[in-house]
Structure 1
Amino acid sequence: MSLFEGVLSTPEMLSVFSERSLVDAMLRFEAALARSQARLGIIPESAAQSIAGSCKVELFDVAKMVRDGARGGSVAAPLLHGLKEAVGLFNADAMPFVHFGIGDQDLVDTAMALLTREAVALVEADLAQAVQALLRLAERHAETPMLARTSTQPTSVTSFGLVCAAWAAPLARSRGRLAQAAHRGLQVQLGGAGGTLDRMQGQGAALRRQLADALGLRDPGVAWHTQRDEWLAIGCELGLMVGSLGMLGKDLLLLGQHEIGEVAEPAESGRGERLPLAHRSEPRASMVALAAAQRAPQRVAALLAAMPQAHPGALGGWQAELAEWPQLLLSAHGSVRALAGALPGLHVDAARMRSNIDRLRSGLPRGAAAEGFDPALAETAGVLALAQVLALQSPPDLSDDTR
């Protein structure tokens, strides 16, 4: 990770996709797999106990695994080699049952699903905070008059509350769609190299169900090695969310320009003292959101481009997807965290909004000023704003499960 990446993301998301976290997730998979196989009589109970007891990340040299994985082109191989060695120190008879009857893609895809579940939870929490902050602003300023602008030029009078409701709407929809996509796409991967789990004594389906329950993931009923649609739908929804956040960030940036001065991001501790001019403010949240919106489309495009995979574990495509996935979530959480932190303290200058209207009206013919730029038009906008607030306060609906 570069210094620049750290500025645009969050410590929490960097931790989720750290090397140690990935190794820990893979070990959680191997421990749950062994326990589930033993419960079904596929491997001995003593072997499962030895395997699960060795699946502790602190027992492994994570840095060495990373180096070995880079040389060998696989993140799974060095972990499995190290796990077998660790198991053999206590129970040599259990070594053949490590990773028994499954493929490396089962391990890596499920580990990534475990990490993505944590990542989506972080995004969802901040997204909910951003939406609620916007809805509170919409209620508070339902009838606060401000200029409506088209192509950056004044066109009529609206209310700041209606503008806030318009910012909140796509984010609320993203929240619902992201929850639905995660509900469908966070699935256990299990099928072995051929997808049939042929070494599981006819209990492959039962093993997948037990493993999914143990890990808190969905059981898809089949291996989805090259069926990436439901998985990548999560990435596409993240891309849409980042775009909506970027739109909000750009609006805040424009409205906060000194010559407009209608809103301003709250000052951050440790920032501002170095600014030589009192009229300058630093729209950091808008900057992070705009940077993410410029980066995320390329990440989503790379994920989609990787979909045509030549058989499971496809050389190039699957690995490209694995590399792009964390980068998308790093950008997504950086964006939503920045705005979720700024919106509750957003400074709204209602007096400046009114003075901008009055200044424009003073230069217009009386009829035009009365028809299109009457501050009383904010009352109608306020009714619409409050109606949108009410509609957007409903929780996300997960009922459209098609499986």
Structure 2
Amino acid sequence: MSSIFEGFLSTSEIQEAFSERNFLDAMLRFEASLARAQARAGLIPEAAAQSIIGTCKVELFDVAKIVRESGRAGSVAIPLVKSLKETVGLFNKEAARFVHFGATSQDVIDTALVLVTRHALALIEADVRKALAALLVLAGRHAADPVLARTLMQPASVTSFGLKCAGWAAPLVRSLQRLRLSSANALSLQLGGAVGTLAEMKDRGPQVIALMAADLKLKAPLFCWHTQRDEWVALGCELGLLVGSLGKIARDISLMGQYEVGEVAEPSEAGRGGSTAMLHKRNPVACMVALAASVRAPQRVAALLAAMPQEHERALGNWQAELAEWPGLLTAAHGSARAMAHALPGLQVDTQRMRANLDAVRAALPPQAAEEWFSPALAQHAAGLARAQVQALTELHTSLTHKP
């Protein structure tokens, strides 16, 4: 799913997570789990289940051919299941009729997307935690270092750079909290629904759902969510908020890193942030990636919301539109998180330049205004707030780290 225009805005890990091969592998994991659960529930013969499970290996299939055929079929599940039945039949003709028994195309695709998304969320969380840990270190280290606060892009008063870093960290802690809750709700097995496929399993459908959910380590949903997309879209909204918070950090760092301001800079690294024409430039490429994500993610979230009014029990067009947007949202989120995880631990902070900028503004003001808005007491107050916020945020971050 990468392209020359967005590959550098993403990561190789997230691109691999949403590769065609990896997604078909997740679909085959669903089919293997389905057969395993149905055999345990006494719905299909154990020998048939073993034949299906043993054939659910992505290396046995022509991934490119299946993807090509999905366009004509209207779903990647249709050519995959057809190929799976044919391949199972080569080894056990009787077992072929039990492939995909009682399941729908949407069941296998939705569950595969959940499995791939779970991995993507782990990648995102790991990098958000790196960025957050770096911010807490910066906030503690620079709690007492005064810096110019700016409102409406103009000098306002004195604050603490540590307090500014704590302000960047707080939304990331909240995002981790909300993502954990949203993930617990959204990462659900999909199976059955009002189209009647569970009826094929008679009264053992709930048992199959419970067995598959345990096998795949997913939530066993109370209801089929073919067209009930609220928990799934809520997770997408949380990802959009995270990207926005990371973009806020990138915006501030890029502004503070302008040559005329010179208060911070991204880590210096050979071959990073250069220019084809002006060799003296050091472009803030990590900020660029995070800001690009903050422009692109809202459109993805809006598309998820727009796709929610789905027809009856299975959607025509809206579900397919939602599927197409989801990888792009997760790709933007991980690209942004990775960019900030790279930039923040080695962020170069010039406290002397911060003080010089403060002194320049203070010298240009009438004495009364300078005393009111740039007094040492204000800086000391900001330092105290920074230390208190660092302690509170560290405790929250630690609780999230140790909570299962």
Q: Same fold (TM over 0.5)?
A: yes
Task: Determine the C-alpha separation between the residues in 2 that align with 1:384 and 1:276.
Answer: 44
Task: Determine the C-alpha separation between the residues in 1 that align with 2:147 and 2:279.
Answer: 24
Kindly indicate whether residue 47 of structure 2 is the aligned counterpart of residue 82 of structure 1: no
Kindly indicate whether residue 171 of structure 2 is the aligned counterpart of residue 174 of structure 1: no
8 Å CA contact 2:102–2:197 kept in 1: the answer is: no
Kindly indicate whether residue 53 of structure 2 is the aligned counterpart of residue 52 of structure 1: yes
**1:221 matched residue in structure 2:** 222
Kindly indicate whether residue 27 of structure 2 is the aligned counterpart of residue 20 of structure 1: no
Q: After superposition, what is the alpha-carbon deviation per residue over 1:331-371, rounded to whole angstroms, capped at 9, x for unaligned?
A: 11000100111100000000000001111122222222122
Q: After superposition, what is the alpha-carbon deviation per residue over 1:231-267, rounded to whole angstroms, capped at 9, x for unaligned?
A: 1111000000111111111111110011100000012
Deviation of 1:203 after TM superposition, in Å, equals: 1.0
8 Å CA contact 1:26–1:111 kept in 2: the answer is: yes
**1:372 matched residue in structure 2:** 373
Greater mean alpha carbon deviation, residues 364-373 or residues 36-45 = 364-373
**1:401 matched residue in structure 2:** none
Deviation of 1:221 after TM superposition, in Å, equals: 2.3
Residues 66 and 44 of structure 1, relative CA distance in 2, 3 Å threshold: same
Alignment of 1:232-243 (within 5 A): 232-243=233-244
Greater mean alpha carbon deviation, residues 50-59 or residues 215-224 = 215-224
Task: Determine the C-alpha separation between the residues in 1 that align with 2:318 and 2:98.
Answer: 30
Q: After superposition, what is the alpha-carbon deviation per residue over 1:147-174, rounded to whole angstroms, capped at 9, x for unaligned?
A: 0100111111000000000001111101
**1:200 matched residue in structure 2:** 201
Q: After superposition, what is the alpha-carbon deviation per residue over 1:204-226, rounded to whole angstroms, capped at 9, x for unaligned?
A: 11110000000010101221111
8 Å CA contact 1:208–1:221 kept in 2: the answer is: no
Deviation of 1:102 after TM superposition, in Å, equals: 1.4
Task: Determine the C-alpha separation between the residues in 1 that align with 2:146 and 2:385.
Answer: 13
**1:389 matched residue in structure 2:** 390
**1:62 matched residue in structure 2:** 63
Structure 1: runs of 5+ lacking an equivalent = 399-403
Structure 2: runs of 5+ lacking an equivalent = none
**2:136 matched residue in structure 1:** 135
8 Å CA contact 1:102–1:192 kept in 2: the answer is: no
Task: Determine the C-alpha separation between the residues in 1 that align with 2:278 and 2:110.
Answer: 52
SS where residue 191 of structure 2 aligns? coil
Greater mean alpha carbon deviation, residues 199-208 or residues 271-280 = 271-280
Task: Determine the C-alpha separation between the residues in 2 that align with 1:17 and 1:273.
Answer: 30
Task: Determine the C-alpha separation between the residues in 2 that align with 1:375 and 1:71.
Answer: 71
Alignment of 1:107-146 (within 5 A): 107-146=108-147
8 Å CA contact 1:101–1:199 kept in 2: the answer is: yes
Kindly indicate whether residue 325 of structure 2 is the aligned counterpart of residue 324 of structure 1: yes
Task: Determine the C-alpha separation between the residues in 1 that align with 2:13 and 2:145.
Answer: 37
What is the letter of the counterpart of residue 359 of structure 1?
Answer: A
8 Å CA contact 2:274–2:281 kept in 1: the answer is: no
8 Å CA contact 2:123–2:334 kept in 1: the answer is: yes
Task: Determine the C-alpha separation between the residues in 2 that align with 1:166 and 1:203.
Answer: 52
Aligned residues: 398
SS where residue 201 of structure 2 aligns? coil
Q: Provide TM-score, normalisation by structure 1.
A: 0.96
SS where residue 165 of structure 2 aligns? helix
What is the letter of the counterpart of residue 48 of structure 1?
Answer: A
Q: After superposition, what is the alpha-carbon deviation per residue over 1:132-156, rounded to whole angstroms, capped at 9, x for unaligned?
A: 1111100000010000100111111
8 Å CA contact 2:149–2:159 kept in 1: the answer is: yes
Q: Provide TM-score, normalisation by structure 2.
A: 0.95
Task: Determine the C-alpha separation between the residues in 2 that align with 1:30 and 1:277.
Answer: 55
8 Å CA contact 2:274–2:283 kept in 1: the answer is: no
**2:271 matched residue in structure 1:** 270
8 Å CA contact 1:101–1:192 kept in 2: the answer is: no
Kindly indicate whether residue 95 of structure 2 is the aligned counterpart of residue 94 of structure 1: yes
8 Å CA contact 2:193–2:226 kept in 1: the answer is: no
Task: Determine the C-alpha separation between the residues in 2 that align with 1:82 and 1:196.
Answer: 21
Query: What percentage of residue pairs aligned between the two structures are identical?
Result: 61
SS where residue 156 of structure 1 aligns? strand
